[in-house]
Amino acid sequence: MVFVYACDHHFFDALMASLVSLVSRFHYSYKKIIVYDLDGISDDPHKVEELGRVCNLELRRFNYTGLPPHVKVLKHFAWKIFVEAEVLAEHDFVIYMDTSVFFLENDYADYFDLIGKGVLSSIQFTRHTSHGIKFATLPGISPFDCIGVAHSL
């Protein structure tokens, strides 16, 4: 399993809390954790050191080069499809995590097994998100339009 986060320095404390819940519930059974720095985390040596204490964690600075200017407006979440496309090009199975997500249990084996067998789609929402993808996607941008751009970065 590869868990993926993306956030800027404003959400660092939430990221760390979510990481604690992930590590404590999955007991390092995951393959890797990838954290995309959307702004300011990689520039702070204390934050980099703190993330370095988490086993199998890779910190990546998000590359905005060549992307439309609106992608840098983090509250539009246009960056998210580029993060997802990049990690899915590298790994067959990833779990994208929001920094507000905390694991209360680790009984997701049934989901993982059914996804691996092709019975379930690889995209699953296990809890209510309070909004649909239409709300979370910038108007005029189709997720399918972005995948080719992400692969060419």
More confident residue, 131 or 59: 59
Q: For residue range 2-55, what is the model confidence (pLDDT) as tens digits?
A: 999 999 999 999 999 999 999 988 877 778 999 999 999 999 999 999 999 999
pLDDT tens, position by position, 80-137: 999 999 999 999 888 899 998 888 877 777 777 777 787 876 566 555 555 544 444 4
User: What residue segments make up the domains of the chain, in order of their start?
Assistant: 2-151
d(CA 124, CA 109): 13
Token readout for 35 is 């954290």
Q: Which residue's structure tokens are 């699953």?
A: 124
